[in-house]
Amino acid sequence: METTVVYAIVLGGILLFLFIINVLSVVPYSAFSIPPLVDRALRYLMYPYVVRRHRLLGPWTLADVLVQLIYFAGNSFCLGFRVSGFAKAGIRAGNLSLINMVPLFLGPHLGFLADILGISLSTFRLMHRSAGLMSCSLVLFHVLAVFVSHTAFSVRGIANLSAIIVSSLVSVTLSDSLTTFRVDRL
């Protein structure tokens, strides 16, 4: 089985697990409760800050740092596991980028998804920001791998033509939003 498929299944399983835990905690008279030992261990992971509040970084707890490291390591492992060449790694990076974009477009608003998954809005913003940065870095790796490997890129194929159209639309949208951001800040 391809590692990107396993990664997609694990990511979907984590989101489904968070949803089920949230639903079970809302249902009245449920037998679901967190054991006291696990609750105490979670306190030591969630309350003390490792990175204090900064202008560029928000306050990160030990749990936030561990989740970010596991997320980065999981993507790095899936990118490099049993890859035969640089071109294949580029294709895998493109697939991983698409998989990492799925949580970015799951709901109409960040607060809605945070409520459905039963996590705080600041934690979901951190997850959203991490998924966005990981997707952008994987797309950059994908594009660099395609340029370096000198693979044939025919514009006659529908997949390649749609990739050119989507990438040009995204670049125009990003440049417009960055220009608007700079004008609003002045």
Encoding tokens for residue 71? 């997320």
- 2-25, pLDDT tens digit by residue? 888 999 999 999 999 989 888 877
Which backbone phi and psi does 64 adopt, to 5 degrees?
-65, -45
pTM of the entire predicted model: 0.77
The yes-or-no verdict on residue 181 having pLDDT over 70 is: no
H or E segment at 60? strand 60-61
The predicted structure's pLDDT at residue 102: 87
Which backbone phi and psi does 34 adopt, to 5 degrees?
-80, 130
